[in-house]
Amino acid sequence: MTEILGSGGAAGAGGSVGAASASGSAGAAGAASSAGAAAATSGISPAPPAAWRRALRSPNLIIGALITLTVAVVTILAPVIAPYDPNEMDFANTLAPPSAQYPLGTDQLGHGLLTVLLHGGRVDLSVALLAAATPFVVGVLLGTVAGYVGGPLDRVIARITDTVVAFPFYVLVIAIVAMVGQGTVGIVVTFAIVGWIGYARVVRTATRAVATSDYVVAARGGGLGHARVLLRHVLPATITQAVVLLVSEIVLIMVAIVTLGFLGLGYDPSIPEWGAMIDAGRPFLTDKWWMSVAPGGAVVLVGVGLSLLADGLSDLWGQR
């Protein structure tokens, strides 16, 4: 009798444990389903841990980030680590070859080329970032609104972008700089006029695809306003493509700034920058090649670093 009661008690306990387990599993499944529904409703898909592990295994992202970070730190600290003042002239050592005193030699006015290179990178990179920020904001805003609203506004923005793209980039940049003037303000205004086109086209296409997705339609059907739908659901799904394009566009803008400096359309001659350095060393390429190779190599290094970084970000966010 005791054994029977014991068996019955054990069976009852097992049944209670099984019921509790089933109930817990159902609760967990319900919680997971609710979390999934919430994520789908919010429209935000955070990168899973696997994406970050994939990023750490991406040589493009790691190498590009290291190069970009190193160049940024060196240029920011240029006033501290540069051995001389960029406007200091040593007339006793003009056109001097690289030495312990002047690691990259001097130019025809006796400026230490290493000092000019560091300060010139600070100028070119800071202006490139500033010139890239304005068209990024304008292009993302116009592309998002055009792709979401559609209709006449979409057609107008599409025609404007097609018209600007029809002109050669450097011809348009040189013409606008000639009209608005040289210097930082002229360069920023120039790229604000022509640089937003790429962002608008990319974001417009992505927004048109996202705007018809189920979770955006459900959000609109749930009574959310257009501004809230755009900020919470559409923009988080499209901004990554614009960020990848931004990193690539910084390279294009920096090369354009260096080109303007090489042509004498950049900054005041007293401001150190890489384009003017390349132009100053051009007459001495045969015997003092380092005068132009040093700033040219710096431009290539920055371009490679940012290109690898953009490629790695594209892999991270699954855009290829």
Model pLDDT for residues 199-235, shown as the tens digit of each residue? 999 999 999 888 878 877 787 777 777 788 888 888 8
Token pair recorded at residue 116: 């000019």
Position 42: which residue type? Answer: S
- H or E stretch at 200: helix 196-211
The pTM of this model reads: 0.77
Query: What mean pLDDT do residues 144-162 have?
Result: 89
Query: What mean pLDDT do residues 152-159 have?
Result: 89
Residue 88 CB partners (closer than 8 Å, separation 6+): 111, 112, 115
Residue 39 CB partners (closer than 8 Å, separation 6+): 45
Same-domain check for residues 176 and 209 = yes
Same-domain check for residues 89 and 170 = yes
Contact yes or no for 200/159 (Cβ under 8 A): no
Range of the domain at 1: 1-42
Residue 306 clears pLDDT 80, i.e. is over it: yes
Same-domain check for residues 126 and 258 = yes
- Quote the CA–CA distance of 198 and 169 in Å, as a whole number: 12
Same-domain check for residues 5 and 122 = no
On average, the pLDDT of the chain sits at 82
pLDDT given at position 28? 39
pLDDT given at position 116? 95
pLDDT given at position 237? 86
Query: What mean pLDDT do residues 144-159 have?
Result: 89
Same-domain check for residues 141 and 10 = no
Phi and psi angles of residue 106, each rounded to the nearest 5 degrees, phi first: -130, 165
Q: At what angle do helices 113-149 and 235-262 cross, to 10 degrees?
A: 140
DSSP state of 230: I
Residue 242 clears pLDDT 80, i.e. is over it: yes
Confidence label for 70 from pLDDT (cuts 50, 70 and 90) = very high
Which of 7-21, 61-75, 76-90 holds the top average pLDDT? 61-75
Residue 29 clears pLDDT 70, i.e. is over it: no
- Quote the CA–CA distance of 272 and 18 in Å, as a whole number: 77
Same-domain check for residues 141 and 71 = yes
Query: What mean pLDDT do residues 106-111 have?
Result: 92
The total number of structural domains that make up the chain: 2
Cα 159 to Cα 68, 143, 164, 201, 307, distances in angstroms: 36, 13, 9, 11, 29
72 vs 51, higher pLDDT? 72
Among 228, 238, 161, 148, smallest CA distance to 193 is for: 161
Q: Calculate what percentage of the chain has a pLDDT beyond 70.
A: 82
Among 193, 206, 182, smallest CA distance to 271 is for: 182
Query: What mean pLDDT do residues 60-65 have?
Result: 93
∠ CA 132-136-142, rounded to 5°: 150
Same-domain check for residues 141 and 179 = yes
Q: Calculate what percentage of the chain has a pLDDT beyond 90.
A: 48
Same-domain check for residues 186 and 306 = yes
Confidence label for 164 from pLDDT (cuts 50, 70 and 90) = confident
Same-domain check for residues 78 and 12 = no
Same-domain check for residues 21 and 87 = no
Same-domain check for residues 208 and 93 = yes
